[in-house]
Amino acid sequence: MFSTAGNTETTKTTSWKVVLPFYGYAAIAFLIATILLLLSASDITSHYFLPHTLAITHIMALGWCTMMILGASHQLVPVLIEGKLYSNKLAYASFTLAAIGIPLLIYGFYFFDMGLYTQCGGILIILAIITYLINLAISMAKSKQENVHAFFIFTAALWLLATAIVGLLVLCNFTEPLLPKDSLDYLPLHAHIGIVGWFLLLVMGVGSRLIPMFLISKYSNMQLLWWIYGLINAGLLAFVFIFLYAASKFLFSIPLLAVAASIVLFANFCLKSYRQRIRKKVDEQMKVSLLSVLMMMLPLIILVIIIALLILSPKENVNLIITYGFIIFFGWITAIILGMTFKTLPFIVWNKVYHRLAGKGKTPNPKDLFSNRIFKWMSVFYILGFVLFTTGILLHSAIVLQIASTLLLLTSLLYNWNVIKLLMHKPASYDECNYK
Amino acid sequence: MMNVITNNTIQCTVALAGLQNIMDPEIGLNIVDLGLIYQLDFDESEKKIYCSMTLTTQFCPMGESITNAVQENLKLSFPEYEPVIELIFDPPWNHEMISAEGRKYLNEQ
């Protein structure tokens, strides 16, 4: 029954060396995005298809949100699939390809140069996603367990690949006509398979595992999670079909209803997990993450209004579309990341620095490795900045947008402060730890 | 603490009291009241301490640190014995394994 050395090897988690570069990269990307937002705040309401707006959107979507999710995913995949990550080398390759590809793409968008370098950026990002998918697929194949969370992650990564391929086609279509319509016409397809297929599906897959786990909830409902999974994917497939082959805008209500139903069901899942929690105290990081679940409803409401207005009149409401995009990237997804960074990163850093000291002496708590006071201020600036910026877009007010983007820049500075504090953390007595 | 299977020696009681100093860093509850220790036996003839334990989730990022801490804690408390740790996931950990004291603590937190 017992092994002499202990059989703890089978539960080894992903190395911090794989994960931390993603976290660091994402933090810098968030800072750059908020600097560019401040610089472009006054003209952001002109149109959503402007070089600076495109650049900011892609820094947020790829540099901030996707890099952070990929990093956290490499750490969490073993927990979610109940098996080891197949290859650290593939994870490094995925990081390197994306880390080079993203700036090339952003540079192209910012200066509206859709030429070779920008296209190379797009290709590198696709290669990064394929590398990630291979790593994920082999990890899942080697795992003995099959669970709904693993399906969420893998399918989300497939949708990310589809998003990137459509994005590259749209990009190349500017210089060489590859698609039957203008590039601009394909933006809703590119955006929605990315937002719903990649971000929503992945957040739900990971959230449905982590939220009950962190709350120590008695609630569990795998059947409901399969329903959510089915609704989102059916909705997305219907959306792609309607977008490519149907002319009626009214038909878009079908995928919208499917995705709306999945969000309501997921919110209900989180609410029941919260109500049936054993651990009564909910920390600040979980509060921000739970807030992001509520924030999923906001873009949905705006999308309903956008579609309703499009059915009534063919002229699109640019302000609402910009608000919709802002709420998704700076609202919903950013709120999750701001909360979840400080639920995961302190533990990764703690493991890096103290795991060999465990049981040998007093070590600090992972929660003490960053400043909770800075975290609280970051949350205050973030909520104020987010609400004000949304108001600024809707009111077309340059001064409100300037104030709000300054608050969001402060948010990213405080976020980076805490991330740097964590990444640079060293034990009181350096010699006691073996970093190798 | 009441759920741990032991061979009812005084050493087991002392060992479990020592293991109560190891906290799950995320939950903030000690691993004994959390229900991570399944079985603890002292083998006098072999001079070994057999500890059968689990984690709240397999591939828990803190798993290695927690098992290292158990190993070191038992070594410190009983230097003449060799601790042998076995991680098992059948049955898997669930919230019902938290002791009454642990539940009370989490409720009051």
What tens digit of pLDDT does each residue of A315-334 get? Answer: 777 888 899 999 999 998 99
The candidate with the shortest Cα–Cα distance to A166, out of A57, A63, A67, A240, is A240
Of A2, A8, A347, which is closest to B26 when you measure between CB atoms? A347
The whole-angstrom distance between residue A109's C-alpha and the CA centroid of its chain comes to: 21
Which residues on A lie below 8 Å from B46 (Cβ)? none
ipTM of the complex: 0.78
8 A C-beta contact, residue A128 and residue A98: yes
A334 to chain B, minimum CA–CA distance in Å? 23
Question: What's the pLDDT score for residue A49?
Answer: 73
Q: Which of A79, A344, A351 sits opposite B59 (nearest CB)?
A: A79
Question: Taking the model in full, what pTM does it have?
Answer: 0.88
Tell me the mean pLDDT in the region A340-359.
84
Give the per-residue pLDDT at A176.
Answer: 87
Q: Is the pLDDT of residue B18 over 60?
A: yes
Identify the contact set of chain A against chain B, taking CB-CB distances under 8 A. 1-4, 6-8, 10-13, 75, 78-79, 82-84, 213-214, 216-218, 278-281, 344, 347-348, 350-351, 354-356, 358-360, 365-367
Residue A94: both structure tokens together: 């995925």
Predicted pLDDT at A27: 97
**Rounded average pLDDT over B55-80:** 87
Q: Which of B7, B26, B41 to mutate to test the interface with A (most CBs of A within 10 A)?
A: B26
Q: Is the pLDDT of residue A204 over 70?
A: yes
Give the model's pLDDT for residue A262. 95
- State the average pLDDT over residues A367-386: 94
Cβ count near A234 (within 10 Å): 15
pLDDT at residue A43, as a whole number: 78
Residue with tokens 């070089």: A51
The alpha-carbon gap from B74 to the nearest alpha carbon of chain A, in Å, equals 9
Report the distance separating Cα A325 and Cα A303, nearest Å. Answer: 10
The widest CA-to-CA distance across chain B, in whole angstroms, is 44
Contact list, B107 vs chain A (CB under 8 Å): 278, 280
Q: Place A310 in a pLDDT band, splitting at 50, 70 and 90.
A: confident
Give A28: exposed, middle or buried? Use CB within 10 Å, 0-12, 13-18, 19+: middle
